[in-house]
Amino acid sequence: LKARLSDPDLLRTQAYLGGEWVDADSGETHDVINPANGGTLATVPHLGRAEVARAIALAEAAQKDWAARTAKERAGMLRRWYDLIMENQEDLAVILTAEMGKPLAEARGEIGYGASFIEWFAEEAKRIYGETIPGHQADKRITVIKQPIGVAAAITPWNFPNAMITRKAAPALAAGCAFIVRPAESTPLSALALGELADRAGLPKGILSVVTSGHGGASDIGKEFCENHAVRKLSFTGSTAVGRILLRQAADQVMKCSMELGGNAPFIVFDDADVDAAVEGAIICKFRNNGQTCVCANRIYVQDGVYDAFAKKLAEKLATMKVGDGMEDGVAFGPLINEAAVAKVEEHVADAVAKGGTVAMGGARMGNDGTFFEPTIVTDATSDMLFAHDETFGPLAPLFRFTDEDEVIALANDTIFGLASYFYAKDLSRVYKVAEALEYGIVGVNTGIISTEVAPFGGVKQSGLGREGSHHGIEDYLEMKYICMTV
């Protein structure tokens, strides 16, 4: 991997703790695997609670000075970090593809997307405005100021090894918090490269730490984050199951939490939709990252009148797209992250077939090396099938047939999740009605792409708490203080 990088120093294999590169106290390491071929890319330290406690202490010591700087100064440093990331976009993309598997073109896109949060929040740092409120008595003056929460800790997933970190780190640092991240065990190298560039950008020591650990190490680090009194904020992106555990743990300290959890996105195609555009949208939002995003369409509902045409066009388009090692030219779909991910898609296909579904395309894993799976379409999907209630997180598009608008709204909302939803239609009153009726934090209308740093990303119901991105995103890292003065 090092040989492929124009700047080999971006491949960091030690943890970044308080501005220093360190190994685990125990000397233990964890292997980082290339999912395209099963080979070992690097080893990183398997840190325990003691090292994480040190990172927290260093963060606490550095945070007050960071918060006391002018917003312009913090913004300037964040901007330098952004510039360095963009200057090294290609190397960062190569590292990302190597450890995560997504095609290089998508990895480049993620680096740009991830960096955009740093650019955005560097700008927002200067706009953390307070408020004055007319006093409740003649001699009273009321002011509201906003201050950084303090030390913020984050736990992030492997599906966006770069952007899920910057989306949290950027608002935290812009607000004046110190930030510690524990990246997913599968994808620590992208996180460490971000640490290297933050170091080069001149971020003060202790303000940013990247604490790595292997399988089974996450729960210890999660406990340290939740039980250490210096940590005042926890931000997590991952499964609802782990989110619940962390919320329970965080309750003992009444810690502020932001949670970006699972989704089960419906994607609805109405009879009046532009079917070609809907197929394009479905390809992007079902198959991007090989179906491994929490905003990926999981259930595709297609109205009677366009069902067959949509299914045919989707299959035709998918047949032109190549599966393979993400480093190769022209590859649209890389490997899945690991064997468990393959097993889940296989389980969803088998369950659908047992319950009367038809595999219209794909349906099986590919080759003996790596964790590749064919782009798959299941027609005649029904609500009793596993994927109707559980995120597949893989390249499986189940097509459900429906006739009635109210019926499909009820089906779409029949889930504990509420992150992203999508629909295609032209009738204006239908567009408004459906957009308002969908119980989701995000609705894509005639589009399959909704992610941008300028808009608030987040879910309702059991998909999470808080919003990331947009001018709202920084609020999650700020406390409001009300000052009441007698004059």
Residues that bind ligand ADP (CB under 6 A): 155, 157, 184-185, 218-219, 222, 238-239, 242, 245-246
What's the min distance (Å) between Cβ of 247 and ligand ADP? 11
User: Minimum CB separation from ligand ADP for residue 16, in Å?
Assistant: 17
- Residue placing its CB nearer to ligand ADP in the complex, 273 or 396: 396
Burial label, 173 (beta-carbon count in 10 A; 0-12, 13-18, 19+): buried
Q: What is the DSSP string of 327-365?
A: TSTTEEE---SSHHHHHHHHHHHHHHHHTT-EEEE--SE
Could you give the residue ranges of the DSSP H alpha helices within 71-187? Answer: 71-87, 89-100, 104-124, 163-175
The residue with tokens 């095609």 is 103
Closest by Cα among 265, 266, 273, 271 to 424: 273
Q: Which is nearer to ligand ADP, 222 or 357 (CB)?
A: 222
Q: Tell me, yes or no, if 51 is annotated catalytic.
A: no
Cβ nearer to ligand ADP, comparing 234 with 431? 234
Strand 358-361, strand 376-381: pairing: antiparallel
Identity of the residue, 143 or 219, whose beta carbon is nearer to ligand ADP in the bound complex? 219
Query: What's the min distance (Å) between Cβ of 65 and ligand ADP?
Result: 29
> How many Å from the N-terminal Cα to the C-terminal Cα in the chain?
66
1: helix, strand or coil: coil
Q: Strands (DSSP E) along 178-291, which ranges? A: 178-182, 208-210, 231-237, 256-260, 265-269
Active-site residue, from 260, 374, 391, 453: 260
- Smallest gap from Cβ 246 to ligand ADP, in A, equals 6
Name the residue among 452, 453, 459 with its Cα closest to residue 170.
453
Distance CA 354, CA 126 (A): 57
Return the number of the residue (88 or 190) whose C-beta is nearest ligand ADP: 190
**Closest to ligand ADP by CB, 340 or 484:** 340
- Shortest gap between Cβ of 466 and ligand ADP (angstroms)? 16
CB of 10 to ligand ADP, least distance (A): 21
Q: Which residues are catalytic?
A: 260
